[in-house]
Amino acid sequence: MENGGLSVVAVRKMKLTPKAIIVQKFGRNAQFTVDEVQDVVQNGCPGLAIPQKGPCLYRCSLQLPEFSVVSETFKKKKDAEQSAAEKALEKLGIDPSPNVPSAEEAWDKLIASVKHLFSNEFLSSQSPLRGHFIAALRRDGDLYGSVPASVIAVCDSKLANLCKLINPKVESSHLLVLTYIMRAATRLSEFVVTSEGQLSIWRKDPYPPEIKESSIIQQSESPDSICIEAIHIPSSLEMAVHPVTLNVSSTGYYLDVIARNLDQTDGNKILVSRTIGKASSEMRLYFAAPKSYLLDLSSDLPNVEEVVDFEGSLNPRASYLYGQDIYGDAILASIGYTRKSEGLFHEDITLQSYYRMLIHLTPSGVYKLSREAILTAELPMAFTTRTNWRGSFPREMLFMFCRQHWLSEPVFSTCSNSLKESSESSRFYEKSAALESAETGKECTSGGGTAASDNVRCEVKIFSKSRDPILECSPKEFYKKQNESIENASLKVLSWLNAYFKDPDIPLEKLNNLVGALDIQCYPQNFFKKFSSYRFIHNVQQRKMGEKLLQANSINTLNAIPEHGIYCLSIGGPDSGIYPSNGCLSFISYSVSLVIEGETMKELLESREEFEFEMGTGAVIPQVEVVTAQMSVGQSACFCKELPPQELILAAADDSARTFSLLSSKDRMEQALFSPPLSKQRVEYALQHIKESCATTLVDFGCGSGSLLDSLLDYPTALEKIVGVDISQKSLSRAAKIIHSKLSKKLDAAVPCTDVKSAVLFDGSITVFDSRLHGFDIGTCLEVIEHMEEDEASQFGNIVLSSFRPRILIVSTPNYEYNAILQKSSSTIQEDDPDEKTQLQSCKFRNHDHKFEWTRDQFNCWATELAARHNYSVEFSGVGGSGDREPGFASQIAVFRSRTPPEEDDLLKDGDSAHHYKVIWEWDGNGLSRSSL
Ligand code: SAH
Ligand code: MG
C-alpha cells in the first residue's frame, strides 16, 4: 500500500469476466469455438440481385463436459465468447461476480488511491485529474494548491467504483462519493490537509521545485484565455434558461470562473455532476455546494448516509436533465481536462444543443433527432420491416432511453412457439456491444433454430438501477424472426412512454387505451418516482406555448382540414395520378417556418431536401401524413398548423435566441407589432440623450434584469460609471451576470467600445433616498412607475427630483390609450390561449404586475406638476407609434432637466448621507467584481 498506484491494478482485477470464471473452473474442458456469421443485408433496394455483404459477425459455441451453449451474434469475437460463457454460468447457476472485495478492502484501497493523487508521480501521469492539480498550483492566495474534492469525485472513475463497493447507494447519490473522498483525506493527515467544512484538499509539503516547474511549463503552452458558451439553468422555472459566456484566462482555473457565474467565491464551493450525454463528452452540470454540507469525517465506519441540508430550491430542469436531484442554479458546460487532449478541452453549448438534450430524453425525441427531423418526424406506431424503417431502431432507442434515465438495461426474453410447451425461454441481457450490432440488423436472424412461420414472441422488462420493476410488456403477437419480435416489443414500450411524455397528466388506464397496449403493465409507484419530475417541466413548456402558426411555405388559398389541425392547405402542380399508399415509402422535401399571423416575416426552422418515410405508420406528424396522402407524385403543398411544444421549436431552430424572443410571451405583443421592439427603441431613446448630454454617470431606477445597462455597454459613450437599483433580487442577480459577462468580454477585447470603469447594482426601493446616488448626470426609469401604487409613483417623483437630483431624468410608462390597438391585434392571434385572453380582458393592462396605466393626460399632469415643484423643465415624447397621430406613442416618455446650475445644486445637497441600499454586485474596472448575493 506504500505506492498508491498499486490499487489501480487491484481494482481492475476485482471482477472476473464470465469467460475467466469458466476457464478457471473447467480449464481445458471448456471449448470455445467462434464462427463467422455472414448474412445478406437487405439494403433497401428490392430486386437488386447482387447480394450485399454486411459486416462480419461472430457467434460462439461453448462446449462443456455436461452441455453446450451457443451465443447470440456479435460484432466482436470476445463479446460472443463472453456471452456464451455467461449463458453457461446461468445454466450452472453460478453468480459471475463473487470476487468483489469487501467494503473494508475497498476503503483501504480508496485511501491509497487518494494518497497517490497527491504524490510527485501523479503530476506527470496521464490522468485527466492531473490538469486540476496543476491548475491548483496557479490559484491565488488561500486557494493556492487546493484541489476541489468535487473534481476528484467525478474525474476518477476508479475512485468512484471503489466508493460504490463501499456503499452501493453512491450510484444514486453523487454527493456521497465526495464524503468518502474527504474522509479518506482525513486519514492521510501526514500527506494532505483538509479544513473543516471545506470541500477541498491540499498537499501538505510543497512539490519539489523541479517537478512543479516541469509540469506547469508543460501545461502553460496551452493558448491564452478562452471564451466558451455555456448554459445557465436557473432553479426557478419562472426564469428562462439562457446562455452565459465563461471567460477563462490562461492562468485561471475554469472551476473558479464557473463558481463566479454561480455567485460563489471560488471553485471549491462548486459541485460537479458526472458527464451527461455521449460517453466521450465533457458536458457536466455545475452547481453550488450546499452551505451546510455535513461531512461526518470522524467516524471510522465506512458506511455513511448522505446528510445534506440544501437551502437552495430544487432545480427541476437541471435535475431532469441529469436524472438526479440538483439544487439551486446550475451551469451546463462542456469543459475539462481529458486523457486525449493535452490542454483544456472545451466546446460551446448553445441553447439549441440544450434543447436537443432535453428532447433526447423523450422516446420520440430520440427518434426525431435520429431522423434529423425534429418538427416533422414522429415515433412510428408500427415496426413493419427493417427495410422500411428509417432512423434509430426501437431496441437501440429503448437502451438509450434506459441509460439516459438511469435505469437498468432492458431485459428481453424471447420464446418460440415450437418450444412453447417445454417452456424454454432464452433470456439474454444485452451488452452494449450487442446494442451496436443491432444496427446491422442481423443479430438474431436465426439464433436457436427457429422455423419459418410466425413463432417468436418477446417480452421486455424495465427495472430501476436498484432492480425495482418499472414496466413490463408482454405482447401476444408472434413474429417470424426473433429480432422482429424484439423490435416490436421495444417499440410498444417506447410508444407507451411517449404517450406519457406527451401528456404526463394522463391517467394510466387512459394511457393504456391510447396506445392500445393492454399488454403493458406499469408499476405506478416506481414509475412515477422516476418520471414525475418530467411532468413539472413539461407543463411549464406547454403553458408557454405561443400563438403563432407553423407553416410549410406560403399561404395561397383558404382551405382547412380542421380535424387534423391543418389550415390554409393548398396543393399545387399537375396531378400525375400516382398517389402514395400505406406501406410504401414516400420521398419528400420540405421546409418548416415560424410565421406570425398577419405578418410577412418568417423564420425558417427546419428543412430537408430528401426525406423518406413509410406511409401509414405515423412516422411523421399527422398533418404531413394526411397532406402527403392527398398529393400525387411531383406536386407541392403548403399549409399551416398550430405550434408544437416550445422545446421542439427551440431544438430545431438554428438561431435559438431569435426564435426564443419571437416565442417568448413577455415581449411577443411588442415584438409582433414593433420593429425594432419597444424595449430596444427605449434603449435607443435613452442612448441619444446620454450622447447629447455627454453624461459620465448614469443611474437606472428599477433596472430589472439590466437590459438597459447591458445594452449601453455596446455603444461608445462618455459613460464611466453606471448604477442600477431594483427591489427584485432575482432580477438583480440576473443583471449582475449579464453585465459581468459583458464587461469581462470588453475587458479582453482589443478595442473596447465602452469607457465604463465602474458598475454597481443596489438592492433597494427607489422611493427611498440613498446618498450614493446623488447628483448623477442622467437618471433613467423605464417602465417602472406603473409597477408601483400611484402614491408611491408620486413619492418616487418627489424623492428623485428633490434628493437624487440627476441633471436629466428620463421616465417612461405605457400609454393606456394605446392598449386598444395592442388588444385588437393580440386577440386575433391569441385565440388558442384562453389564459392570456382572460388576462387581457380582466386586467386591461399590458402586464399583470401593472398597478396602473396612465393616459397621456394623466402622465402629463403627474410630470408637469413634479417638474414645477422641483425646478426642472419637462418635455414629452415616446416610442412606438407616433406622437402626432391618435392615440399617441405606445410608450410615453418624459424628459426632466434640472434648471438649477450644478454649483448651486451641490449646495442644495442635504446632509443626509444615509446608505439605505445594499450593494449587490460591484465591478471596479480591473475585471474584479464582488457579489453579495
Ligand atoms: N427598467 C427595466 C425593468 C422594468 S420592469 C426595463 O426596462 O427592462 C419593472 C421593474 O421595477 C421590476 O424589475 C421591479 O422589480 C422594479 N420595481 C418595482 N417597484 C420598485 C421599487 N419600489 N424600487 C425599485 N424597483 C422597483
Ligand atoms: Mg412594465
Lowest mean pLDDT among 53-62, 443-452, 485-494: 443-452
- Residue 600's pLDDT band, with cuts at 50, 70 and 90, is low
Q: Which position has the higher pLDDT, 452 or 537?
A: 537
Q: Is the pLDDT of residue 539 over 90?
A: no
In this predicted model, what pLDDT tens digit does every residue of 753-811 receive, in sequence order?
Answer: 678 989 999 999 999 999 999 999 999 999 999 999 999 999 999 999 999 999 999 99
What is the pLDDT at residue 315? Answer: 87
Question: Which numbered atom of ligand 1 lies nearest the CA of 781?
Answer: 1
Q: Is the pLDDT of residue 13 over 50?
A: no
Domain segments of the chain as ranges: 18-92, 103-349, 358-546, 552-642, 676-814+854-876+894-931
- Name the closest ligand to CA 678: 1
Question: Ligand 1 in contact with 726 (CB < 6 A)?
Answer: yes
Instruction: Tell me the whole-structure pTM to 2 decimals.
Output: 0.58
- Name the closest ligand to CA 792: 1
Atom 17 of ligand 1 has which residue's CA nearest to it? 702
- Residue 849's pLDDT band, with cuts at 50, 70 and 90, is confident
β-partners of residue 346 are: 335
Question: Ligand 1 in contact with 586 (CB < 6 A)?
Answer: no
C-alpha of residue 783 to centroid of ligand 1, in Å: 7
Dihedral (C-alpha) 366, 370, 372, 374: value to the nearest 10 degrees? -20
Q: Is the pLDDT of residue 49 over 70?
A: no
What is the pLDDT at residue 3? Answer: 32
- Residue 195's pLDDT band, with cuts at 50, 70 and 90, is confident
d(CA 42, CA 48): 9
C-alpha of residue 746 to centroid of ligand 2, in Å: 30
| Number of alpha carbons in the 13 Å side-chain half-sphere of residue 932 | 10
- Name the closest ligand to CA 727: 1
Q: Is the pLDDT of residue 655 over 80?
A: no
Q: Give yes or no for a cis peptide into 363 (omega within 30° of 0).
A: no
Best residue among 728, 769, 791, 918 to mutate for probing ligand 1, ranked by most atoms within 8 Å of CB:
728
What is the pLDDT at residue 863? Answer: 97
Question: Ligand 1 in contact with 765 (CB < 6 A)?
Answer: yes
- Residue 132's pLDDT band, with cuts at 50, 70 and 90, is very high
C-alpha of residue 912 to centroid of ligand 2, in Å: 31
As its CATH architecture, domain 552-642 has Roll (3.10)
Q: Is the pLDDT of residue 428 over 90?
A: no
In this predicted model, what pLDDT tens digit does every residue of 613-631 receive, in sequence order?
Answer: 999 899 999 889 988 988 8
Residue 622 burial (C-beta neighbours within 10 Å; 0-12, 13-18, 19+):
middle
In this predicted model, what pLDDT tens digit does every residue of 273-320 receive, in sequence order?
Answer: 988 877 678 899 999 887 655 555 555 444 455 445 555 678 888 988
Reference 330, options 339, 343, 321; nearest CA is 321
Domain 18-92, what fold? Double Stranded RNA Binding Domain (3.30.160)
In this predicted model, what pLDDT tens digit does every residue of 742-751 receive, in sequence order?
Answer: 888 777 766 5
Return the beta strands (E) in 539-601 as ranges.
549-552, 567-572, 585-595
C-alpha of residue 704 to centroid of ligand 1, in Å: 5
What is the pLDDT at residue 566? Answer: 77
When mean pLDDT is compared over 256-260, 512-516, 649-653, the highest value belongs to: 256-260
Which numeric CATH code is attached to 676-814+854-876+894-931? Answer: 3.40.50.150
Question: Which numbered atom of ligand 1 lies nearest the CA of 792?
Answer: 22
Atom 21 of ligand 1 has which residue's CA nearest to it? 765
For 369-374, the CB contacts below 8 A with 24+ separation are 370/397, 371/611, 372/608, 373/606, 373/608, 373/611, 373/620, 374/606, 374/648, 374/651, 374/652
668-692 average pLDDT score: 76
In this predicted model, what pLDDT tens digit does every residue of 696-713 receive, in sequence order?
Answer: 999 999 999 899 999 899
Question: Ligand 1 in contact with 788 (CB < 6 A)?
Answer: yes
C-alpha of residue 839 to centroid of ligand 2, in Å: 15
Q: Is the pLDDT of residue 44 over 70?
A: no
In this predicted model, what pLDDT tens digit does every residue of 541-591 receive, in sequence order?
Answer: 433 333 333 433 333 333 445 556 777 788 888 888 888 888 888 899 998
Atom 7 of ligand 1 has which residue's CA nearest to it? 782
Question: Ligand 1 in contact with 248 (CB < 6 A)?
Answer: no
In this predicted model, what pLDDT tens digit does every residue of 346-393 receive, in sequence order?
Answer: 999 998 999 999 889 889 999 999 999 999 999 998 898 888 899 999
d(CA 99, CA 791): 77
Return the C-alpha cell found at 47. 430486386
What is the pLDDT at residue 56? Answer: 79
What is the pLDDT at residue 72? Answer: 86
d(CA 177, CA 153): 6
Q: What is the mean pLDDT of the chain?
A: 79
What is the pLDDT at residue 115? Answer: 93
Q: Is the dihedral of CA 709, 712, 718, 720 positive or negative?
A: positive
Best residue among 731, 763, 784 to mutate for probing ligand 1, ranked by most atoms within 8 Å of CB:
784
- Compute the C-alpha angle 666/846/823, nearest 5°: 100
C-alpha of residue 739 to centroid of ligand 2, in Å: 21
- Residue 536's pLDDT band, with cuts at 50, 70 and 90, is low
Question: Ligand 1 in contact with 773 (CB < 6 A)?
Answer: no
Question: Which numbered atom of ligand 1 lies nearest the CA of 728?
Answer: 15
Question: Ligand 1 in contact with 767 (CB < 6 A)?
Answer: yes
What is the pLDDT at residue 685? Answer: 93
Question: Ligand 1 in contact with 880 (CB < 6 A)?
Answer: no
- Name the closest ligand to CA 779: 1
What is the pLDDT at residue 48? Answer: 44
Lowest mean pLDDT among 57-61, 445-449, 466-470, 820-824: 445-449
Question: Ligand 1 in contact with 686 (CB < 6 A)?
Answer: no
What is the pLDDT at residue 169? Answer: 78
- Name the closest ligand to CA 685: 1
Atom 3 of ligand 1 has which residue's CA nearest to it? 704
Q: How far is CA 457 from CA 385, 426, 479, 515, in A?
A: 16, 11, 6, 19
Question: Ligand 1 in contact with 879 (CB < 6 A)?
Answer: no
Q: Is the pLDDT of residue 449 over 70?
A: no
What is the pLDDT at residue 125? Answer: 83
C-alpha of residue 703 to centroid of ligand 1, in Å: 6
Question: Which numbered atom of ligand 1 lies nearest the CA of 700?
Answer: 1
β-partners of residue 377 are: 620
- Name the closest ligand to CA 784: 1
C-alpha of residue 496 to centroid of ligand 2, in Å: 44
Question: Ligand 1 in contact with 484 (CB < 6 A)?
Answer: no
Atom 12 of ligand 1 has which residue's CA nearest to it? 704
Q: Is the pLDDT of residue 922 over 70?
A: yes
What is the pLDDT at residue 904? Answer: 75
DSSP letters, 342-382, are: SSEEEE---HHHHHHHHHHTSHHHHHHHHTT-TTTB---S-
401-417 average pLDDT score: 87
Q: Is the pLDDT of residue 98 over 60?
A: no
586-608 average pLDDT score: 78
C-alpha of residue 778 to centroid of ligand 2, in Å: 21
Return the C-alpha cell found at 461. 422488462
Q: Is the pLDDT of residue 848 over 70?
A: no
C-alpha of residue 581 to centroid of ligand 2, in Å: 55
Residue 306 burial (C-beta neighbours within 10 Å; 0-12, 13-18, 19+):
middle
d(CA 199, CA 197): 7
Question: Ligand 1 in contact with 341 (CB < 6 A)?
Answer: no
What is the pLDDT at residue 455? Answer: 85
C-alpha of residue 889 to centroid of ligand 1, in Å: 21
- Residue 178's pLDDT band, with cuts at 50, 70 and 90, is confident
Question: Which numbered atom of ligand 1 lies nearest the CA of 766?
Answer: 23
Taking each helix axis from N to C end, the angle separating 77-92 and 18-26, rounded to the nearest 10 degrees, works out to 60
